[in-house]
Structure 1
Amino acid sequence: MTTERIIPSPNTLVKYDNPILVSKHDSKAGPSGVRLALLVLLSRFFNMKTKYSVMIPDEAAKKTPLTADIKREAEEILNTILPPKEWEDDGQLWRQCVSTTPATRLDVVNLQEQLDMRLQQRQARETGICPVRRELYTQCFDEIIRQVTINCAERGLLLLRVRDEMRMTIEAYQALYCSSVAFGMRKALQAEQGKSDLFEDVETLKKEKQDLENQITELKQRAEQADRRAAETRLAEERKHTEEIAFLKKTNQQLKTQLEGILAPKK
């Protein structure tokens, strides 16, 4: 038993149908099985397309409406590309699938207006890295994939490849950015550590310089003291030498006088 429940429009640009009440025991594919389910649906879809292309001519195929099987296959592919939302409320499991209503030109115009309005409401940046702008443009691209897939599943699957490639590229850039930030932080820490080591080396060299200057001052003082002592010693020795010379001259004069006094009577 299923009943419809009208709820406010979700905060997304992707168009969804009204949620329906489902049994808690319904099987649902987990996120890891999305790719496998998509491959299975692709094979079934292309096999079915080949069968119908053989049975119906090209001109007749363009005029022949889609059968229930083809519509169901398209809906399964659409639900695989954009998985349904599921949540529990008051012990009941609710599921909300993307809308399978074909889009008109007015829907595209409204999508553009909604995108511009939400960019302005959420104050998204016009340039540079902005998670808000990226989220809204991702929702807009998913809605475009939904609209295209309803009319042409192959084109929708091709857009899905483009979307996944863009996501992988962005994730690669994010990983590169995180790695570069970590590398920059590591280098900054190393630089800070090296800076502190250099400061310590500078302080050590300054202390060694001060010690050497103190040693130079002390040695200069010792040299000056040694020069003064040497000068004093030299003056004392010169004075002593002068006194000895004067004493010797005086003694010599006395001896000469005595000698003359001794030799004088003999004449």
Structure 2
Amino acid sequence: MAERILESQNTLVRYCNPVLVTKRTEKDTSVKVNSHSLLYGATTVEKKRETDEILNSILPPVEWEEQGQLWRQQVSSDPATRLDVLKLGEQLDMRLQQRQARETGICPVRRELFTQCFDELIRQVTVNCAERGLLLLRVRDEIRMTTDAYQALYESSIAFGMRKALQAEQGKSNMEQTIENLKTDKNDLEKQVAELRTKAEQVERRANELRQAEEKKHAEEIQFLKKTNQQIKAQLEGIIAPKK
């Protein structure tokens, strides 16, 4: 593997310089060299290799191709000093200000930078104590899972709200159309009521006229019968009365 000097990365996690991966067999050779070095310092080399494996499982190496060559970059296994921790806090504040992260509320930029800071702290702790680093990894994964669950719930609630808003808008349009139809039906019914009222008045007026005509005719018939009755009565009295 070849190695080159790395320019400053846009991350708070400390990485080693990238190395050029030429062949797969060369990687195997490096493992053999490490195994051979165990003869001289088995405890130290084994512990460093175990720490590197844990770091790579926590923060996987970054690989990319450049000009047909494969480069790999792993996180640093160098222990952090008190000055490094203070510098990390200063870099965090500086990048929060540079990227104009919001101080309150939901801010993807702030979350990204604090995630990088937490990963760097996990790296520093893992170098000194692998078990403590793995425990912090569980805490990190739990926080991410909870945050992702809240985000999924938020997106689901947004989608639910949008569906309800669309349904309400569609229901509003349907209701407005129903109101227009009911208004039209109301106008038609009012016209029918007016027509029926006019017909009822005509029928009532005609019935009154017929009743008056019937009453007049009935009165004339009664008068005629009374007059006829008087004439018959007079004739009967003339017949029955004794002649003088």
Cα distance in 1, alignment partners of residues 227 and 44 from structure 2: 156
1:194 is the counterpart of 2:171? yes
Name the counterpart of 2:14: 15
Whether the aligned pair in 2 keeps the contact of 1:15 and 1:143 (CA below 8 Å) is: yes
Cα distance in 2, alignment partners of residues 116 and 130 from structure 1: 15
How many equivalent pairs are there? 228
Q: Which moved more, 1:182-191 or 1:138-147?
A: 182-191
Change (3 A) 1:24 1:198: farther
5 Å-filtered alignment, 1:228-239, equals 228-237=205-214
Change (3 A) 1:248 1:73: closer
Change (3 A) 1:91 1:244: same
3-state SS in 2 of match to 1:12: coil
1:203 shift after superposition: 3.2
1:80 is the counterpart of 2:57? yes
Whether the aligned pair in 1 keeps the contact of 2:56 and 2:75 (CA below 8 Å) is: yes
Cα distance in 2, alignment partners of residues 257 and 156 from structure 1: 143
Deviations 1:205-244 (A, max 9, x none): 3333333322221111011111222233344445556666
Name the counterpart of 2:94: 117
Whether the aligned pair in 2 keeps the contact of 1:24 and 1:93 (CA below 8 Å) is: no
Cα distance in 2, alignment partners of residues 231 and 24 from structure 1: 118
Deviations 1:89-138 (A, max 9, x none): 11111111111221111111111111111111111111221111111000
Which residue, 186, 194, 203 being the options, matches 1:217? 194
TM-score (norm 2): 0.77
5 Å-filtered alignment, 1:1-267, equals 1-4=1-4, 6-25=5-24, 67-237=44-214
Cα distance in 2, alignment partners of residues 163 and 91 from structure 1: 36
Q: Aligned partner of 1:23: which letter?
A: T
3-state SS in 1 of match to 2:6: coil
TM-score (norm 1): 0.71
Name the counterpart of 2:38: none
Q: Percent identity?
A: 72
Cα distance in 2, alignment partners of residues 238 and 72 from structure 1: 128
1:87 shift after superposition: 0.8
